[in-house]
């Protein structure tokens, strides 16, 4: 749970998407250093709900390798698209775009409506969520 909270600051929100999801982990010396939650949305659509890397391991390529693995797994499950939601700014947006994800929509006020506490990054409050899609 601690690692999932690195990407999603709400335990309550995390519990809403764990049931029925596939959870992928990256281990190093017996310790979990990466985690990803993938939830089926339909027979052809999977949603990336959470991806996080241990802060001391960030920037080492673990996140990119985990995302590429999940993309490959999604294709092997015959999914046609992989979707996700992320903030409208920050390194996460570029992280997903480097792997081919494209912006397909905006959930206005998502972070304001779904989180009790402000979700902050670099001193700026997240308000809207960008919806991204990767055609597989």
Domain boundaries, the chain: 4-135
Instruction: Provide the pLDDT for residue 100.
Output: 97
Can you tell me whether residue 128 is helix, strand or coil?
coil
**Contact call for residues 80 and 103 (beta carbons, < 8 A):** no
CATH class of the domain at 4-135 = alpha beta
The whole-number pLDDT of residue 8 equals: 87
Q: Sorting pLDDT into bands at 50, 70 and 90, what band is 74?
A: very high
Query: Do the bridges between strand 45-53 and strand 124-125 make them parallel or antiparallel, or are there none, so unpaired?
Result: unpaired
pTM of the model: 0.90
Give the pLDDT confidence score for residue 91 in this predicted structure: 87
C-beta neighbour count of 95 within 10 angstroms:
15
Among 23-27, 47-51, 70-74, 121-125, the range scoring the smallest mean pLDDT is 121-125
């Amino acid at each position: 749970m601690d690692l999932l909270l690195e990407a999603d600051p709400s335990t309550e929100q995390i519990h809403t998407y764990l049931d029925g999801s596939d959870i992928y982990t990256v281990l190093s010396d017996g310790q979990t250093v990466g985690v990803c939650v993938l939830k089926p949305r339909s027979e052809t659509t999977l949603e990336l709900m959470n991806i996080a890397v241990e802060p001391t391991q960030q920037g080492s390529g673990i996140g990119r390798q985990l995302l590429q693995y999940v993309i490959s797994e999604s294709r092997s499950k015959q999914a046609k698209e992989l979707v996700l939601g992320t903030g409208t700014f920050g390194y996460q947006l570029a992280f997903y775009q480097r792997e081919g994800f494209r912006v397909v929509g905006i959930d206005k006020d998502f972070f304001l409506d779904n989180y009790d506490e402000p979700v902050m990054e670099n001193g700026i409050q997240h308000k809207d969520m960008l919806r991204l899609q990767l055609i597989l």
